[in-house]
Chains A and B, each alone.
Chain A
Amino acid sequence: MNNHSSVRLTKAFDIISSKTTTIVLVACACALFSVGLFVPQGVSDQALGDMHSSTIAQVVIALDAHNIVRSWAMQLLSICMLVHVLGLLVGGVLKGWGERQSPTRMVWMTATGLRASGGQPEEFVRRALPDWRVQSLGERRAVATRGMGVQGFGVIVIGVGLLISAWLLHAWMDVEGRIVLVTGSADDAATTAWFKAEKWEGDRYHPWSPGFTLTCDPADGDPIRAERRCIVSSEEQKGEVTLGPSRDMSYMGYRLTLVGVHRDTNIGKPEVRTTLNGRMQQTSARLGDAIPVVRENNEIATVVMSGFTSADLVAVVPAPGVKRDVVDSIEISVIPRTVLTFRVTTQNYLWPVWIGFPVLLIGLMMVLVLPGYRVYVTGNHEESCDVSIRWNGLLARPAEVLSQIHQQFGESPR
């Protein structure tokens, strides 16, 4: 490698691991996260077109702004951050932490002109702070350190690295799909026909065979809050579960979460329940269909479907010779099909998140809460030393450190 390429490489490495790069990358992340505040996430391209003008919808779709976490911009930023974090780690090891620490604003209580023996900073600081780690920074400068700020920074870097790698691993390796089905009894043709499984690959959902099928019964009452019986079956086994709000299913390593419920009268035939004297008769019908109501093998009335809600009239035509009070006691319920959407996920690669999060928390505690000090001592030409203290952590008490130095020398700064 000649000198030119070596210089270029060093320069590139400096850019990768510089503080300015950190600031730029974090600012970019902020900008991407802010998109999630204003653009609805996870909606289809068609719904976006309905909500916004064509121009805005096209820009949003091109930038993947309606799916910002999975967008190409976020993945690019994650990779840049990972490279940058590695650069910071390598830079820290190669160049030494002490040298990389640039001057900071949080320098406090600069005590000038403390008399020192022969103006030797290292000797001064060893006497002033006997139990501290002391490092010489040249002939006229020394630093004494205490605390775990540097280690804390390393732990934060590891935590952030784990979280970013978990993000990428989870996005690339874990399965994310969805199952759309309509409710009805398990042997209902419409229920079976409308079962649809899709898997997220690339940038869209593709048809998928998860190795099992799922059917759910219609629920009485509020379709969102009601409990419903679901049957999940594969070639090997068949399971039944009662599904309610905040209750997920786990099957064959997949987690199934109910994320969408809506009614659709155009799918199959709505279910019709007729009840007479406590006996329920269940069937399905389209608009205009005639449903016979039978008691003891005798047809006592015919129900004609004329709508799907309680606001619509349902015609009940009595059979000849049947008394009015018998017909009046017929109760009729029309239940449109409900479409359920389940999110299907595997979380095999989420474990680095659960490790990375506490690691990050420990690192933050070491940097932001526990006290850490760096006491710089610079000798001047009057056989005395200037002292400045840098610190981090909520529990840091720099005044006490300075007081300790003063007590050691029995004087106040000049």
Chain B
Amino acid sequence: MMSLTPSLLLVISAVLWGMSARKGSAPVIWGAVLAHGVTAFLLVFGPAHLTPMSWVGTAILASFVSGLLVALVARKYHSQSMYISQAVLTLIASFWALSTGSQDSFPIQSWASAPHVVFGVLWIAAMLLATMIAFYRLRGRRVGFLLLAMGITAVPLLVPRASWVTVHHDGEAVMVEARIDDSAGAQGLHRQIPARVSLPYEPLFRQSALFALILGFVVALVRRVARSQAQGAGALGLVVVLIVGVHTSYLASSVFPRPINVSQDEISNIASQTLRREAQGTEFPTVLTVPEPPYQGGPESPSPITWSVFALIMACLAYVRRDPENASVQPGQLERLEVRFASAAMFVLILLVGTGAMWSDDVWGAPLIADPKIFAAFFLMGLYVLYWLTQRYIPNRSDAPSWILVVAFVVLLFSMTGPDLGLIVPTLHHFPG
């Protein structure tokens, strides 16, 4: 069942972070941390519906740790940018908290399992902070941010799950029952999966957002090639951000139940596609049973909303005015902070992979297996090494390291939400949204 308490607490925390950006008094800042902390406590120990076993739970815990670090270090550095970033992150976390999440308990299968989860939370927190600073430092880089926003908006078009909502009946999720045959034709397995349908008009909204972003990108590219001195975002920027914002708001509205007119066949087709994709050609659903209507729409995975929110953030960052450095910030101060968080992230990632290898050796029979999450971890390690090298040895390309961090963040998004959306191959890591 969906519980609103964690989400409301996170909204309160986000508002307090926003207030801190205007007037950073200690009670307001620590109030924001406290509200987030209570959510994290509910998550781990309380009767809340989320557990650290889901990527949503891990991400909410990580955003709490990042908030704690912001409260500790922001006054020393550039407080306003970090408070605003943390406010946005906490607002996104409030959507994550609406997820139906995972009911699984935390499995203590190996001595390395608990440290692995702790390092996971710490790594994501360090990663989020480093990326927030990189976003701030790169603000106003129109071509790069619009390109990323285009990618983030376009990629979900490749998979149908981005526009799905879970079908409900009398407040409960409708389940489709399926009989599965294996490739030899033998019957046996019976599966139950939630009934899902496409959110009406979502593809249209997404395509409009993509079109606006492409338009903005082309204009920005032409201006850049022509070395135009015009800096203002103008009406175009406003329109692009507005259209992307409308798409994001529409997608976010899917977390609330609404009457939905859909046939049993449509639900059955989507369930069949889902099962076929999961089985990767080895098993086939034959008889699918779908309960009778009426149906209501309801929240599905928070992954599509997360992608859309980040597309909106990138569109905003593309058109934000690039003011001269704040007088209160010494030159290079934010860069040094970014380096520190990125270094911490790299170090913790090594520990994360190490403890994960020990856990994997116990439960999967080998320290390293061919799993997409592990490939993503090695990919990210490579990106950190590239970050470190460009930071040290490419002094003239000052933006390159920050862009590498942004790419690493997109890889993290792929790795976390990819299995939910069907963007990457199925993973053995039990990490549902």
Residues of A within 8 A of B (CB): 19, 22-23, 26-27, 29-30, 33-43, 47, 50-51, 67-69, 102-106, 108, 246, 248, 255, 257, 259, 262-266, 308-309, 311, 336, 343, 345, 350, 353, 357, 360-361, 364-365, 368-369, 393-394
Contacts and interface: CB of A to CB of B under 8 A. Distances in A.
Q: Lowest 5 A-B CB distances belong to which pairs?
A: A36-B375, A257-B365, A41-B370, A30-B382, A50-B281
B371 to A, nearest CB: 8
A189 B36 CA distance: 63
B81 interface: no
A37 B182 contact: no
A42 B370 CA distance: 8
Contacts of A393: 343
Given A30-B379, A263-B184, 14 more contacts: A19-B389, A23-B386, A23-B389, A27-B382, A34-B411, A36-B374, A41-B425, A47-B280, A50-B281, A106-B336, A263-B186, A345-B366, A357-B354, A368-B347
Contact of A309 (B188, B364, B390): B188
Contacts of B418: 37
B186 A33 contact: no
A23 B389 CA distance: 7
Contacts of A34: 375, 379, 411
A207 B347 CA distance: 44
11 contacts: A23-B393, A30-B386, A33-B376, A34-B379, A36-B376, A37-B414, A37-B425, A50-B281, A266-B184, A345-B365, A394-B343
A27 B387 CA distance: 11
A40 B386 contact: no
Interface of B is mostly: helix
A103 B366 contact: no
Nearest to A307: B187
Interface string B380-396: 00110110011111010
Contacts of B344: 368, 394
Question: Which of A19, A30, A104 counts the most chain B CB atoms within 10 A?
Answer: A30
A38 B424 CA distance: 5
B386 A336 contact: no
Contact of A108 (B336, B393, B395): B336
B377 to A, nearest CB: 9
Nearest to B374: A36
B395 A104 contact: yes
A361 B375 contact: no
Interface magnitude class on chain B: 35 or more
Nearest to B343: A368
B234 interface: no
A180 B363 CA distance: 20
Given A42-B370, A108-B336, A19 B393 contact: yes
B365 A365 contact: no
B393 A104 contact: yes
A108 B332 contact: yes
B203 interface: no
A357 B425 CA distance: 28
Contacts of A42: 370
B350 interface: yes
B386 to A, nearest CB: 5
B115 interface: no
Contacts of A353: 367
B391 A246 contact: no
Contacts of B367: 350, 353
Contacts of B185: 265
Contacts of A40: 280, 425-426
A350 B368 CA distance: 11
B192 interface: no
Given A30-B379, A33-B379, A350-B367, A360 B390 contact: no
A299 B343 CA distance: 78
B392 A29 contact: no
Question: Which of B109, B344, B347, B383 counts the most chain A CB atoms within 10 A?
Answer: B347
Contacts of B339: 106
B340 interface: yes
Interface in B329-344: 332, 335-336, 339-340, 343-344
Contacts of B379: 30, 33-34, 37
Nearest to A337: B186
Nearest to A51: B281
Contact of A365 (B280, B347, B357): B347
B370 to A, nearest CB: 3
B378 A33 contact: yes
A55 to B, nearest CB: 17
Contacts of A39: 425
Contacts of B365: 248, 255, 257, 259, 343, 345
B372 interface: yes
Interface string B196-230: 00000000000000000000000000000000000
B35 to A, nearest CB: 29
Contacts of A106: 336, 339, 391-392
B382 A29 contact: yes
B398 interface: yes
Contacts of B389: 19, 22-23, 26
A97 to B, nearest CB: 14
B282 interface: yes
A364 B350 contact: yes
A369 B385 contact: no
Contacts of B398: 105
Contacts of B188: 263, 308-309, 336
Contact of A69 (B370, B382, B415): B370
Question: Which of B339, B364, B376, B392 counts the most chain A CB atoms within 10 A?
Answer: B392
B282 A262 contact: yes
A102 B393 contact: yes
Contact of A246 (B340, B363, B374): B363
A33 B44 CA distance: 33
B393 A308 contact: no
Contacts of A19: 389, 393
